[in-house]
Structure 1
Amino acid sequence: MREWVDHAIWWHVYPLGFGRLDKIEKWLDYAVELGVNGLQLGPVFASESHGYDTLDHFRIDPRLGSEEDFDALVAACQARGVRVLLDGVFNHVGRGFAAPSSSFLRGTVFEGHSGLVELNHDSPEVLDYVVRVMNHWLGRGADGWRLDAAYAVPPRFWRAALDEVRKDHPSSWFVGEVIQGDYVGYLRDSGLDSLTQYELWKAIWSSLNDGNFYELAWALDRNNDVLDAGLPLTFVGNHDVTRIASKLTDERHLGHALAVLFTVGGSPSIYYGDEQGYRGVKEERAGGDDEIRPPYPALPGDLAPYGWPVYRLHEKLIGIRRRHAWLAHARTTAVHLTNTAVALSSSDGEHRLVTLLNVGDEPYTFEIDSQSRTVPAHEWFIVSDES
């Protein structure tokens, strides 16, 4: 019932940084021209500060606009064939959240953050509340939910909630934020459709920085296992991590990172600004996320000219992904592997793409299917066996 996800490519926007909802609407054509057909929104509900300290899940944050602005944004997305993924913070709430009863909150803070109070997921009242919130916004036109800090919630809670929500919204998609651990087991036990593929994210930039494609090959084997259980949300940047342009020690390897993202299995997500080569470093301090959650200009024409080549690179690779939609469920293996050169074969059993990556200081010749292909130093190339 969720086949549409196989074709989804997301543009991930953090609204409280980007700007109001009516401003995001003005950027939809820019996103569609990039090649995306999904808008992954960060928190949009009333909160105390950064959006993840929710005060009211049924009310749009007044800093972002009104309910009418939300409806207008959803309508504008639907008119362009763009799906909408909302950010649901259901593990914890802001300290000012008006709990309906004493059993609603667990009374403990989340991961040492004094402003975040955990919900009591053993309470039937909390389960009913989360189901009502999900159904409310899906009924208003959203297509799915990213579930923040899903890893901190008992998997049985998600299964119980989704069993109820899917009764009315069987085509909706649910992706959980899971950082590490048993991805396959969590998908199985929770009933989630997807999770955030942090293992692959780390392996992409780390293998490029260290000249260690063995790490990438290992992570891709793990991703193949995840694909047996669900369709992971893949990314090289999001609202919680240092931007890929800042993470890479050699800027020549940005294309390598993106080539991996768009040729391996999963549902790819692009964090706003990455498609323009934005830089930004996450710092572990108060306000340490500000640099990676910046405002956008009023209109695309106001962007600086130096970012457009990166936009065109994204556009090119998204075009390849669009022409080979089967890549969403492709399994990827390293068929030629050294520390600094790798040939990644992605296949669904019928079709195949081979992505050649070279981060060495000399040209590298790959022997693939009895053919020699030489990739210059610090370059990449994609080979298709389709006409």
Structure 2
Amino acid sequence: MHDRWIDHAIWWHAYPLGFVGAERDALAPGSPVAHRLGRFEPWLDHLLELGCSGLALGPVFASETHGYDTVDHFRIDPRLGDDADFDALVEAARSRGVRLLLDGVFNHVGRSFARFRAAEEGDADARRWFRWEGDGPATFEGHGRLVALDHDEPAVQEHVAAVMRHWLGRGADGWRLDAAYQVPTAFWRAVLPGVRAEFPDAWFAGEVIHGDYAAIVAESGMDSVTQYELWKAIWSAFNDRNLWELAHALERHSAMVESFAPLTFVGNHDVTRLASRLDRTEHIGHAVAVLMTVGGVPSVYAGDEQAFTGVKEEREFGDDAVRPPFPDTPAELAPFGAPVQELHQRLIGMRRRHPWLVRARTTVEHLTNTTMAFRCSGSGGELVTLLSVDDEPRRFPDELGGQTLEDAQGGTPDEALLLPPHSWRVLAP
């Protein structure tokens, strides 16, 4: 399992329908296809300049509205393009050495999904594809438009396996498994081995929010799950000036890394943007420093490297602010995002130079409410990350000393262990 391509992967994660400014609802039947997937091509160079190595796409399959109400897993959403557009994107990515991760929504489907329509019309075979509650279908977390599949049904297992194999065969490198926390682990255990037999290098990461992540990985046969626990602790600890919360999360995170490499992130398409979530924008660097020095497979949500803002609201279309359209090319980005992008480039570059960090264990070596030092160690060496959210300069203990690799100010400080207020530093002992 060691030194697979995923051990060197850093994802740039984008939500396609928002990214290209697609219509909110599916195109009317017979409408011409909107060939928009090609708009990602200039951004492949952007993600490489950032230091990332893979493009993690949100839903690209035909759906009713936001992509998570799939109606056909074998068809590219006409708002994004068609098979030829997908093939062209795969070729553009491959020519640059960029990996491609697809979003598999296999817990539920939209009401226009052909098998669900057949079930509503009384087809007994189709009816077995879905879970039912009384007279109606079970739905996903109360969303009436999202009907829950019955994961015990062999035909559903065969369908999902066929979808995975189809797109892996077309050039995808792996799958993010949406709402995997709602799907019985036995379902993944039934589906994944057959897919892996054909595509042994494919990577499968489940969206899991709560629970025993390591046990879920072991029981399901997935490679990884989303590290929401660490995401929450990062912004919450900095906002509350309570680095004990982050220390607790890092201890749990380090234990997880013993058995799998979690999918780590400080932003995604489902949560308020990092620049809006943090009370102080100078703590963006702290968050990215943690992300890039702890174990796991890091993901940067497109736009976070430019300090995009956006607040998720709990209402219909409440995600729109965190899923905005992007300009046609990176050259059209506003100049004020440049310092945060340069910060990402420095920290991602450091991560790339220390690929052993994917499996690194973390120990907290110094801790107060407002200051923290943690050591990451692995087969390739050690790094020490210093964090301060204090209003005063703070000196760290002598035993943590080392050579400065990266610093909040971008230079080399006179005293490696003396941190200015609200800053961070990464040292090589």
Tell me which interval the TM-score lies in, with the shorter structure as reference length. Answer: over 0.9
Q: What residue in structure 2 maps to residue 102 of structure 1?
A: 127
* 1:180-232 deviation digits (Å, cap 9, x = unpaired): 11111111100110000000000000000011111111101111121122111
Structure 2 counterparts to residues 165-180 of structure 1, below 5 A: 165-180=195-210
Q: What residue in structure 1 maps to residue 314 of structure 2?
A: 284
Q: What residue in structure 2 maps to residue 379 of structure 1?
A: 423
Structure 2 counterparts to residues 1-387 of structure 1, below 5 A: 3-19=4-20, 20-99=36-115, 101-106=126-131, 107-348=137-378, 350-369=380-399, 371=401, 373-385=417-429
Identity %: 61
Which amino acid in the other structure matches residue 4 of structure 1? W
Mapped to 1, the partners of 2:72 and 2:159 lie a distance apart of: 11
User: 1:179: how far off?
Assistant: 0.2
Unpaired runs of at least 5, structure 2: 21-35, 119-125, 132-136, 402-415
* Larger Rg belongs to: 2
Mapped to 2, the partners of 1:129 and 1:85 lie a distance apart of: 19
Which amino acid in the other structure matches residue 308 of structure 1? A
Which amino acid in the other structure matches residue 300 of structure 1? P
Mapped to 2, the partners of 1:152 and 1:287 lie a distance apart of: 22
State the TM-score, normalized to the length of structure 2.
Answer: 0.88
Mapped to 2, the partners of 1:252 and 1:153 lie a distance apart of: 39
* Secondary structure of the structure 2 residue equivalent to 1:104: coil
Mapped to 2, the partners of 1:228 and 1:208 lie a distance apart of: 26
* 1:21-50 deviation digits (Å, cap 9, x = unpaired): 100112111111111100000000000000
Unpaired runs of at least 5, structure 1: none
* 1:117-170 deviation digits (Å, cap 9, x = unpaired): 000101000000000000000000000000000000000100110011011001
* 1:259-282 deviation digits (Å, cap 9, x = unpaired): 000000000000011011100000
Mapped to 2, the partners of 1:270 and 1:113 lie a distance apart of: 28
Mapped to 1, the partners of 2:53 and 2:92 lie a distance apart of: 12
* Secondary structure of the structure 2 residue equivalent to 1:285: coil
Mapped to 1, the partners of 2:255 and 2:145 lie a distance apart of: 37
Q: Do the aligned residues in 1 keep the contact of 2:177 with 2:205 (CA within 8 Å)?
A: yes
Mapped to 2, the partners of 1:350 and 1:14 lie a distance apart of: 34
* Secondary structure of the structure 2 residue equivalent to 1:26: helix
Question: Relative to structure 1, is the Cα distance of residues 350 and 31 closer, same or farther in structure 2, using a 3 angstrom cutoff?
Answer: closer
Question: Relative to structure 1, is the Cα distance of residues 349 and 326 closer, same or farther in structure 2, using a 3 angstrom cutoff?
Answer: closer
Which amino acid in the other structure matches residue 343 of structure 1? A
Question: Relative to structure 1, is the Cα distance of residues 189 and 380 closer, same or farther in structure 2, using a 3 angstrom cutoff?
Answer: same
State the TM-score, normalized to the length of structure 1.
Answer: 0.98
Question: Relative to structure 1, is the Cα distance of residues 109 and 381 closer, same or farther in structure 2, using a 3 angstrom cutoff?
Answer: same
Q: What residue in structure 1 maps to residue 404 of structure 2?
A: none
Q: What residue in structure 1 maps to residue 406 of structure 2?
A: none
Mapped to 2, the partners of 1:226 and 1:79 lie a distance apart of: 34
User: 1:307: how far off?
Assistant: 0.6
Mapped to 2, the partners of 1:229 and 1:180 lie a distance apart of: 18
Q: Do the aligned residues in 1 keep the contact of 2:384 with 2:400 (CA within 8 Å)?
A: no
User: 1:369: how far off?
Assistant: 2.0
Question: Relative to structure 1, is the Cα distance of residues 139 and 379 closer, same or farther in structure 2, using a 3 angstrom cutoff?
Answer: same
Which amino acid in the other structure matches residue 99 of structure 2? R
